[in-house]
């Protein structure tokens, strides 16, 4: 079931939300990761990311 809503009915609400201040982000969560391998494999190369990290071979990062 689709419900069609016209934004004109909510313009006053949108202006009020805008004037109250930012609503995003509520919580900033810093996320960091160590880059373990960086290599140029070319554009549109589907062999670069073709499996989930948990499916990589045991020796995938050795020698890189």
**Per-residue pLDDT tens for 32-43?**
777 777 778 888
pTM (two decimals): 0.29
Name the phi and psi angles at 4, rounded to 5.
-95, 120
Residue 45 pLDDT > 80: yes
Residues 41 and 48: beta-carbon distance below 8 Å: yes
Share of the chain above pLDDT 90, in %: 0
Average pLDDT along the chain = 78
Opening angle at CA 47, ends 41 and 49, nearest 5: 90
């Amino acid at each position: 079931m689709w419900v069609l809503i016209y934004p004109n009915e909510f313009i006053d609400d949108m202006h009020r939300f805008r004037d109250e201040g930012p609503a995003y982000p509520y919580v900033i969560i810093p996320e960091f990761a160590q880059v373990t391998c960086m290599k140029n494999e070319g554009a549109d190369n589907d062999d670069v990311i073709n499996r989930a990290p948990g499916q990589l071979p045991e020796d995938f990062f050795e020698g890189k």
